Chains A and B, each alone.
Chain A
């Protein structure tokens, strides 16, 4: 339970090389007490490095970490009062389930009654009560991961619980329930939870705030809605949402309109200061609709493919060389090969050099 400040942090694994490659480029961020954060990004983007810096397993090449305004940069992991759950179950093979769960408390000299009480409470949350006396090594992989998770949650006073894709090995049903449990734990104890994942749905449903990373860079921090509707870079647009955001090379036309091929599209963005190079238009397939009676922002396309996903239909269409995808209501019948699609101006995002204008 602490506010965590990461101030101008950066990290490289080869600091002595002439041109070190940075796993994390300099950034500053604050994690508010009691909130849920998800760090989202493809493999190798620096998510785990960031967690390890916070837990103290790695000392950052540069920058400071503050827990409640106290500098802990040079403090060792064991003194930081943080808990971390790894992607794959890490259990103490030689101990029973109970001893596994009690270990973090025993290491910190908690009283016996308190240990008993906490272990009981955590094991109930995680459905482990009936296994407490069993040797931990005899459990299945997902039960083992529950033990790891339990060890992360057993201390109430931790500054933050860091989770590195903790639910990867757990089956979907239980995953869903556990995510809800984690949320409840967060709401009850006001523990700061940081959750690393590459699954956007997991991130969207779990977190108050999502941190999107790419190649050691923090690309966007925001609410799920912001990330979805106004991605700050084309990477975020591409990475979040399924299918990815529609992106087209465009030409500037007037102060608030652009041209795709020969079609004029109005946007709500002021484009007067832009120069005509590497400009892209992005729009979510959810916002691209089959035109009814709109007169503007219409794009005529050829239908390539219609996939029925049950709750929606996904149209894959072509406009010249450009591919446009559109998620439409499944009741809508498409009779022709040609159809007009409508781009609502307020949903059109314009990017220059892959950054949102």
Chain B
């Protein structure tokens, strides 16, 4: 019975792994193919089934001689927008969350929980509802089709996530910790950054991870709020498609788009397995 259980368990893990890894293997293999190897017969293994080529990767970098699409600039645009917006969201979100967790607010019928819900409610609306207000807002202040404009919008999108995660996290940091720090001689600001913040690193990492993921994968707002001056990676990747689908360059761009998230996942996983993150999220 136990052997059977073990067998089934490993079978399941293997199947699941194949399920997860197969698209990546497919994308890696496809990214080294040319038109011929994709469209003629089914091929799998480089050098045996088909002759690998770097064409799919090369078109991603613009060169005057050959045209190409250039996803390098959108790539760095995306990095800049995601990282800046995440950082600002985390800083502001953490401060807001700390206040919401530690102080009591009253304004009419509004209490702490209502304020927290107000933050989260920003993500409840379908994004399309926000598109026109954002568009008008950015065009009014002249930030349409600019990196800064995107950063502003992304902060609006990411901060609720940061607030939500961090409020929950701070609520589970006992308030005696702050009080002890005060008694030990810190002023409230020192108590926050010397004691509470170091204790909240796991929460910050989780919040940061979510912000980066949600910022990085957003297509909708990047598509609506930019035209020609600035483009973000997801928009550019979609734009690669044409009447003849360039599977090879699409695969290559998909791979490098996922790369940062995989790196984030590995870093966090190491941290997770060290046990430092235990209890960060229920």
Contacts and interface: CB of A to CB of B under 8 A. Distances in A.
Report whether chain A binds chain B. yes
Interface of A: 55-57, 76-78, 82-84, 86, 88, 90, 92-95, 103-104, 107-108, 148, 151
Interface stretch (B12-20, B36-44, B163-171, B193-201): B193-201
B176 A107 contact: no
Nearest to A57: B179
7 contacts: A76-B187, A84-B180, A86-B180, A88-B174, A90-B176, A104-B184, A107-B190
Contacts of B177: 90, 92
Q: Is the interface of A mostly helix, strand, loop or mixed?
A: loop
B1 interface: no
A269 B132 CA distance: 87
A55 B184 CA distance: 11
Contact of B174 (A55, A78, A90): A90
Q: Is the interface of B mostly helix, strand, loop or mixed?
A: helix
A88 B190 CA distance: 22
A181 to B, nearest CB: 21
B195 A83 contact: no
B180 A57 contact: no
Given A78-B187, A86-B176, A107-B190, A92 B182 contact: no
B186 interface: yes
A56 B180 CA distance: 12
Contact of B195 (A56, A76, A92): A92
Contact of A90 (B180, B185, B187, B198): B180
A90 B183 CA distance: 12
Contact of A78 (B186, B198, B199): B186
A84 B179 CA distance: 9
A329 B64 CA distance: 107
A55 B195 contact: no
Contacts of A103: 184
Contacts of B180: 84, 86, 90, 148, 151
A333 to B, nearest CB: 54
B196 to A, nearest CB: 10
A107 B199 contact: no
Contacts of B184: 83, 103-104, 107, 151
Contacts of B201: 94
Interface string B233-276: 00000000000000000000000000000000000000000000
**7 smallest beta-carbon distances between A and B, as pairs:** A107-B185, A104-B184, A94-B198, A77-B182, A90-B180, A90-B176, A108-B185
Contacts of A55: 183
